[in-house]
C-alpha cells in the first residue's frame, strides 16, 4: 500500500475526531490509528524492496552492457584473426576492432549513466517519501506530546472506557 495514502488516512482520522470542549484534545478511534500505523510499518519494507530491486536491475543492465562489450570485443578479435593472413587487410581489421571497442565502451558508459540516473531518481523519490512519513509521524507525536503537557500523560487504554 502507498505510504502517502496511509499518511493521508491517518490525517483524516485525526481530523475527523471529536473535539473535547474547552480543550485541545480530540477523541479518535485508537484501533483505527493503530491499524493505519501497522499498515505503514508493512509498507515501508515494500518501498525499500522496490529500491533494492531497482538497484539490482541497474546492476543487471551494467552486467549486460559489459557482457555485450565483451562479445563485441571477441567478435572484433575473431575478425582480426581471420584477416591476419592477409597483410594488406591487417590495418583495416585493427582499426575496425578499435572502433568496435570504442563503440562498445561508449555504449556501456551510456547504459551505466542512464541506469545510475534512473536509480538516483528512484532513491531520491524514496528518500522524499520516507522523509514525508517521518514528518507526519513527528507531527503526530508532537500533537500527542502537546496534549500531554496540557492534560497530563497518556495512559494505555485512556478514553476507551
125: left (phi over 0), alpha (psi -120 to 50) or beta: alpha
Q: Which residue pairs from 57-61 have beta carbons closer than 8 angstroms and sit at least 24 positions apart in sequence? A: 57/115, 58/115, 58/116, 58/118, 58/119, 61/111, 61/112, 61/115
* pLDDT tens series, the chain, 161 aa: 688 899 999 999 988 888 888 888 889 989 999 999 999 888 888 778 888 898 999 999 989 998 999 999 999 888 877 777 666 667 777 889 999 999 999 999 999 999 899 889 989 998 999 999 899 999 999 989 998 876 666 565 555 54
Domains of the chain: which residue ranges? Answer: 1-46, 62-128
- Give the pLDDT score at 154: 58
- Looking at residue 102, what is its pLDDT? 93
**Degrees (nearest 5) of the Cα angle 130, 143, 16?**
90
Confidence (pLDDT) at 56: 92
Global confidence as pTM: 0.37
pLDDT of residue 87: 66
Amino acid at each position: 500500500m502507498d505510504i502517502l495514502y496511509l499518511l493521508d488516512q491517518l490525517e483524516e482520522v485525526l481530523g475527523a475526531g471529536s473535539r473535547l470542549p474547552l480543550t485541545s484534545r480530540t477523541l479518535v478511534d485508537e484501533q483505527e490509528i493503530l491499524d493505519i500505523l501497522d499498515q505503514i510499518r508493512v509498507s515501508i519494507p515494500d518501498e525499500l524492496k522496490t529500491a533494492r530491486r531497482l538497484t539490482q536491475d541497474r546492476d543487471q543492465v551494467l552486467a549486460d552492457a559489459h557482457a555485450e562489450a565483451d562479445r563485441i570485443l571477441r567478435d572484433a578479435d575473431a575478425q582480426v584473426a581471420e584477416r591476419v593472413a592477409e597483410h594488406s587487410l591487417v590495418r583495416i581489421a585493427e582499426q575496425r576492432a578499435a572502433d568496435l571497442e570504442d563503440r562498445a565502451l561508449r555504449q556501456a558508459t551510456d547504459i551505466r549513466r542512464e541506469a545510475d540516473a534512473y536509480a538516483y531518481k528512484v532513491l531520491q523519490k524514496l528518500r522524499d517519501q520516507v522523509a514525508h512519513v517521518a514528518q507526519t509521524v513527528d507531527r503526530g507525536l508532537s500533537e500527542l506530546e502537546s496534549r500531554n503537557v496540557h492534560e497530563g500523560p497518556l495512559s494505555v487504554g485512556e478514553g476507551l472506557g
